[in-house]
Amino acid sequence: MNPEAFTADAGPAVEAQVAGDMARRMLPVLPVLVVVAGLIWGADGAWSSAYAVGIVLANFLLAGLIIAVTAKISLAVMMGGILFGYLLRLGLIFVAVFSVRDAGWISLPALGTTIIVTHLGLLVWELKYVALSLAHPGLKPARP
């Protein structure tokens, strides 16, 4: 038996598929979030909400990419990639927020609320589309 069979994932990159699916499903909701934030916090809230959605989508896509790439190397590298990738992604979110905190177009309540609601909302929403089966890892297969 090949020892590499236990140390790397040779299957499809389901993590990247799930992250891409989350991004695709977010696009129709983006205008609604921006309009709601605009109604609550004005134009600054709308711009902040759009910026926050960009941060969240980049976060999920980067997470999927890190897992997909490191899983092909080895499971140990994948675990390290997940841990340190999480810290890196938290740092990138911090930098993205910190760099615009004093900008004239930013509304921090709108930005923070959108980041939190969008992260949690996308994760809960995506549960409906993810197959919780080893027979079909990743997204549920399409119905015939």
Q: Running DSSP on this structure, what letter comes out for residue 106?
A: -
Angle between helices 75-98 and 30-73 (to 10 degrees): 150
DSSP states along 57-88? HHHHHHHHHHHHHHHHH-HHHHHHHHHHHHHH
Report pLDDT digits (tens) over 26-41: 888 899 999 999 999 9
> Three-class SS of residue 130?
strand
Measured distance CA(8)–CA(116) in Å, rounded? 33
- 23-78 pLDDT tens trace: 888 888 899 999 999 999 999 999 999 999 999 999 999 998 998 899 888 888 99
| 134 has a pLDDT exceeding 70 | no
Mean pLDDT of 74-85: 91
**pLDDT at position 131 over 70:** no
Indicate whether 102 pLDDT > 80.
Answer: yes
- Look-up: residue for tokens 């089966």? 133
Which residue, among 118, 96, 134, has the nearest Cα to 37 in the 3D structure? Answer: 118
pLDDT of residue 132: 66
Q: Answer yes or no: is pLDDT of 133 > 80.
A: no
pLDDT score of 53: 94
Task: List C-alpha distances in Å: 85 to 34, 54, 69, 119, 128.
Answer: 29, 18, 12, 17, 25
- How far lies 28's CA from each of 13, 33, 113, in Å? 25, 10, 19
- pLDDT tens per residue, range 110-123: 999 999 999 998 88
